[in-house]
Amino acid sequence: MIRPKKREVARKAWIGSLIKGEYHKSEGWTPGYIEFDGQKYSRVSLVATVVAKFLTEDGNYASITLDDGTETVRLKAFGPDVLKLRELHVGHIVRCVGKVRMYNEEIYITPEIVRQLQDPHWILVHKLQLGAPDTILIPAEVKPQVPEQAAVEAIKEEVVNVQKQILDLIRSSDGGLGADMQQIIGSSGLEEEEAKNVLFALLKSGDIYEPRKGKLKVLD
């Protein structure tokens, strides 16, 4: 009898520990992790304040920047996962459970669960649970921030590059009847869930289509 793979426990963490730690990329479907101060973090639970948000015009990509007083980190979502971030705004305090990832030397989080917390004292609870230094305070009211144009353009370029990578991979793998979806997912260099979400976004936008189930073609 094949037993289902046990889901890794989400470890409570300060963002600073993730940013300062060393990222270890694993092979295959095994998740990568960050090692810091003798601890390994691959799936984490954060409590932080939203200090910036970006959403593409087509609604297929979104990111929010979280700040917990130690550092900042981005949550990045493609396709259907965008719904997890859509209703969050600058100034919201959130609890996030997600997987640690790295792309272009940037540590980021792919969100599994994101919930707004109405009571700011949850930050103090989080602090007490982690035994953090007293420099971590309940943040003051955060004013909405508009990302600088250079940052917005960089995010747009990142999204385009990821989608272009997938499109090129589909083209090169298409022997005439379409590229195998599972092969594309496995060769993309992305985590399985992320790759599926990028494919979903490309299908939704009409850049690719399925001539038959499990096969993908680029609409040139």
Q: How far apart are CA 118 and CA 121, in angstroms?
A: 9
Q: Exposure of 132 by Cβ count < 10 A (0-12 exposed, 13-18 middle, 19+ buried)?
A: middle
Same-domain check for residues 106 and 168: no
Q: How far apart are CA 151 and CA 142, in angstroms?
A: 19
Looking at 146, 174, 204, the residue that finishes a domain is: 146
Q: How many domains does the chain have?
A: 2
Res 134: pLDDT = 45
pLDDT in tens, 25-57: 876 556 788 998 888 999 999 999 999 999 888
Is residue 171 scored above 90 in pLDDT? yes
pLDDT in tens, 69-127: 888 999 999 888 999 999 999 999 999 999 999 888 889 999 999 999 988 777 777 77
Same-domain check for residues 29 and 104: yes
Same-domain check for residues 183 and 81: no
Mean pLDDT of 175-189: 90
Residue 28 lies in a domain: yes
Res 208: pLDDT = 93
Buried/exposed 62-98: b ≥16 CB within 10 Å, e otherwise: bbbbbbbbbbbbebbbbbebbebbeebebebbbebbb
Same-domain check for residues 36 and 140: yes
Least confident window among 60-74, 84-98, 141-155: 141-155
Residue 192 lies in a domain: yes
Residue 3 lies in a domain: no
Res 102: pLDDT = 87
Tell me which amino acid residue 1 is: M
Domain harbouring 54, CATH code: 2.40.50.140
Same-domain check for residues 80 and 173: no
Res 66: pLDDT = 94
**Model pTM score:** 0.73
Q: Identify the band that residue 199 occupies on the pLDDT scale cut at 50, 70 and 90.
A: very high
Q: How far apart are CA 119 and CA 51, in angstroms?
A: 17
Domain span at residue 184? 154-218
